[in-house]
Every structure is written in structure tokens, then in C-alpha cells.
Structure 1
Amino acid sequence: MAQPKPSLTELDPVWHRICEEAEAAIASEPLMGGLIHAGVLHHKTFEAALAYRISMKLASAEMSEQILREIADTALSQASELANAARADLVAIYDRDPACHRFLQPLLFFKGFQAVQAYRLGHWLWNNDRRDLAYFVQMRVSEIFGIDIHPAAKIGQGIMIDHAHSIVIGETAVVGDNVSMLHSVTLGGTGKEDDDRHPKIGNGVLIGAGAKVLGNIKVGHCSRIAAGSVVLEEVPPMKTVAGVPAKIVGEAGCSQPSLTMHQLLNGAM
């Protein structure tokens, strides 16, 4: 006898878990039923739920939820890497943020996750020469979430932006995979120079709250930037830098700073 085909939910373990958590959340708090049904259980796939959430958050009197939903649906259907990166971001937040106890939380409540996924939509539009729409998405992300990411910036997957207030990432910035950053981080330029003018952040980097990384400089993989630092020169891999201007104060202290989220400097000396 032929075995029944697994459902789409069962084929996607992240989505399957989100749906299970959504059912449990409604049982625990029935007043959330409308929101959770609309945002999660009404949809057959993670991609559909993500498109709905992005469009609901970015909609305004100038651009309807329906139009934005059509744009997001198209992007997610044509570029599978968008949803795959979103899954990696969601798992990263769950693994690294002690305030995140369910996969459901980032999708519904965490503006860092939602802002990065909206940026990914804007980046897709930018790369498909739909620049004005990309700028519109950037504007709405800034207005709604307090995060300003240029749609031309290149950001990897497995990204966690904790608290996610006052983040600025410039046009030619590059952020690698498995990077963690806290609020008020700036990846900016140093003046009015043109062309390639923003930082290049390696894989596995941890950037502390309020840190500013300025100019076309490299931050090596698995390094740590202490909170409040101003980084103006290249950071070698697996080092800790701190201060204004930032200087090397020791080793990174572990092989994966962005995963451990350890920010005390005594471990770097």
C-alpha cells in the first residue's frame, strides 16, 4: 500500500513547529486567536505567512496591504533564498536570545526579525531594478521599526538583531552569515565619499550595543566589537576590540562570539 504523502507543514520543520506553537498560544490566550489565525494558521506555508506579516507591517495610506502582499508573494515564490534566510534568522534568534522561547515569537512580535525580512524584500526589489519600490520599503522599515538598512546592502543569513532599535546599515555594507548585533549599531561611512564606503563584516561577528563601524574596513570573522566602540580600522579575525577609537584588547574569547553572545571583556584579556 502506498504511503500517504507528507503534508507541506511536515516537510518544513520550522513551519510545522510554528503552527504547533500557534495552536498552543490560542489555547493559552484565546483573545489572541484572531491575530494568530490571521498571521499563522490561515496560511499553508511559511512563505505565505511571512509575506502576510511583512505586508501588514509595511502597509500605509500610500501603499495598501494588498499591493505589498502581491509584491512579497512574488518575491518569495521567485527567490527561495529569501524564505530560507528567514528560517535561518528565526532559528538564530531562538538559539541566541534568552527572551525568545518559541519560534512563533520572532514572526509575530520581534521587530528585529521582521525588519530584516522586510529589508530582504527591498534587496530583492533593488536587484531586480525596481529601485523606487525598494526605497519605499526602506522608508517604511525605518518609520515602523526604527531601523534603516539600505536595500543595496548585502546581508547574510542567521542574523540576530537584538532589541533592534536605531540600527543603521549603509548602501555598500556587507554583513556575513551568523552575525549578531545589538541596538544602536551603525555600519556607516566617514564622510561624503562615493563608491565602496561602508564596512565589511565577516561571518560570526558579535557587535555590541551602540558600536559604530565606519568606513570601508574589514571586520574579521568571529571577532567581537565591544559596546560603545568606534571602529575606524580593520579588525583581524577572532579578536576583541574596544574603545574610542577601538583598539585590540585581546582574543575573541571563543570560536563563535555571535553564538555565545558573551560580551564581558575580562574573557578577552
Structure 2
Amino acid sequence: MTSNLTDNTLDLDQAITSIKIWDQIRDAAQKSLRSEPVLEKMAHHIVLSSKDMAQGLGRLLSHQQPDTLVSREELEELFSFVAERAPQIITFAAADLEAVCERDPAATDFFVPFLYFKGFHAIQMHRFAYWLWQNGRQDMALFLQNRSSVLYGVDIHPAAKLGKRIVFDHATGIVIGETAVVEDDVSLFHGVTLGGTGKERKDRHPKVRQGAMVGAGSILLGNIEIGHHARVAAGSVVLKDVRAHATAAGSPAKEVRG
């Protein structure tokens, strides 16, 4: 299942959860200030002076950008504009934070991935780019894609469809093509490519179904399907479908169990 980011219906339970997570992030920021006062300006601007997660996330992403011809203030306004029209972006972000803390032992609380994990940041940047792409603002979407690639080393085409509770572990070198689909509860490790073979023209990228995991350095090519809760071992080259709950490994990959 891929949760629909273009559906403006807001799930009330998810909205309440995002508020609770933001409260916990604020509490952790207060503790961080006591132990690391040099970070006070950053923590205060991004977290403590932000009224909610939407504002905090917009400030976080905009202030990671170099303040050049497109200013940080203009980007913050852009993120606020999109979040007001697509509030589910924020509930998806909260769901991503929950997933990171469930699956990554390095995430000791919500504050840590929110502020410091570039995989989380890259996913959120893509969500804004995706909304812009779907709403006729392709140039701005491509600008955000470029910024994500330069800043985080993660290159996701703005048209690619990502669900929620997604985890990019370490994230460096992840590439996701235009017609790829990454459903809910998927984990991708660093160096994963969801690419094309060069032989297909339209629907040409992998579909990674709910709960699947793709190991570091794996290359998945073509309009193939990685089934629900399937596993792809690190370093694999996958050119064919992988069945649900199966594990694939090797180059070219073969199912080793399932």
C-alpha cells in the first residue's frame, strides 16, 4: 500500500500523534540546550520557537540550504505554503519518525532523527517536491530535487511515489527514478538504486511493496516488483520480480528462501 500524499483528507489520529511527537521533540531540545549550549541558536530557531511540526520542519529544511539566489526565507515560505495545502505531509513526517525510532537503534528519541538524520530530511524534501510536481510547479520541484541531491547525496525524481513510515538508513547514494513506487513501511539502506534498464520508456522503474527491505548497495533495475515484506540482500543486482516474503541475493539476484 502506498499512502496517498495528494489526498487532502487528514487522519485525525495521525494528526494527534504528530502533535505528541512534536511535544517530545521540544522537550528533548530543552535537554540538549542544557548539555550543549553551543547548539542553542539552532535548537531555538528550528524547534523551540516553532509553533508546530510544520513550521519546525520548514525551518529545518530551509536553513540547511545555502542562502544564495533563493533565500532561506523564501524557501521557508514555500514549505509553509505547501504544508498548509497538504497537511498530511506533516503526519507522514511524524510516521517516518516513529518508523526510524522503531527500526534504528541509533535513534534514541524523535529529536535525534528530526534534527540530525539526513535520510529523514531527504524523504521530507521529496514530499514537498512531489506535491509541487503534482500541482504543476515542476521547476520548483526539480530545484528541491537538486538541493536534496547536493545536500544529502540522495537523488529522488519528484514524480516518484513514496508512502509513509519510510526509513532511509544512512541514505548516502540512494537513487530513485521517476516511475518508482516505494510503499509504506519500506526500509532502504545506503547506495540503493531503483533505476531503469534503458530499454523501457514509460513505466520503467521498480515497485517496492509494503514492508520490504533493500540492503546497502543493491541495484534494482526495470519495472519489476519487490513483494510485500520481501528482503534484498546487500550488494544484489535485481532484474526480476521478488515474491512476497522471499529473500533475494546475488548478482544477478536469485531467491534464496521464501
The offset of 1:60, in angstroms, is 4.0
Matches of 1:249 and 1:85 in 2, distance apart?
Answer: 34
Which of 102, 115, 130 pairs up with 2:137?
130
1:36-87 C-alpha deviation (Å, 9 max, x unpaired): 0011001010110001111112344131111111110011111111001100
Tell me what 2:202 maps to. Answer: 195
Pairing 1:76-225 to 2, within 5 Å after superposition: 76-191=83-198, 193-225=200-232
- TM-score for both structures, normalised by structure 1: 0.88
Count of paired positions: 244
The offset of 1:94, in angstroms, is 1.0
Residue 194 of structure 1 aligns with an amino acid whose one-letter code is R
Q: CA RMSD in A?
A: 1.5
The offset of 1:30, in angstroms, is 1.5
1:126-159 C-alpha deviation (Å, 9 max, x unpaired): 0110000001000110011000000000000001
The offset of 1:112, in angstroms, is 0.4
Tell me what 2:243 maps to. Answer: 236
Residue 103 of structure 1 aligns with an amino acid whose one-letter code is F
Is the alpha carbon distance of 1:192 and 1:61 closer, same or farther for their aligned partners in structure 2, counting shifts above 3 Å? farther
Matches of 1:59 and 1:50 in 2, distance apart?
Answer: 17
Is the alpha carbon distance of 1:36 and 1:208 closer, same or farther for their aligned partners in structure 2, counting shifts above 3 Å? same
- TM-score for both structures, normalised by structure 2: 0.92
Give the SS at the match of 2:63: helix
Name which of structure 1's ranges 50-59 and 226-235 shifts more when overlaid on structure 2. 50-59
Is the alpha carbon distance of 1:60 and 1:143 closer, same or farther for their aligned partners in structure 2, counting shifts above 3 Å? farther
Give the SS at the match of 1:57: coil
1:157-188 C-alpha deviation (Å, 9 max, x unpaired): 00110111000000000000000111000000
Matches of 1:24 and 1:98 in 2, distance apart?
Answer: 20
Q: Is the contact made by 1:155 and 1:176 (CA closer than 8 Å) also made in structure 2? A: yes
Q: Is the contact made by 2:225 and 2:242 (CA closer than 8 Å) also made in structure 1? A: yes
Specify every segment of 5 or more residues in structure 2 that has no aligned partner in the other structure, as ranges. Answer: 1-14
Give the SS at the match of 2:64: helix
Tell me what 1:61 maps to. Answer: 68
Give the SS at the match of 2:200: coil
Residue 21 of structure 2 aligns with an amino acid whose one-letter code is V
**Higher gyration radius (CA):** 1
Name which of structure 1's ranges 145-154 and 90-99 shifts more when overlaid on structure 2. 90-99
Instruction: List, as ranges, runs of 4+ consecutive aligned residues in structure 1 with deviation greater than 3 Å.
Output: 8-11
The offset of 1:31, in angstroms, is 1.6
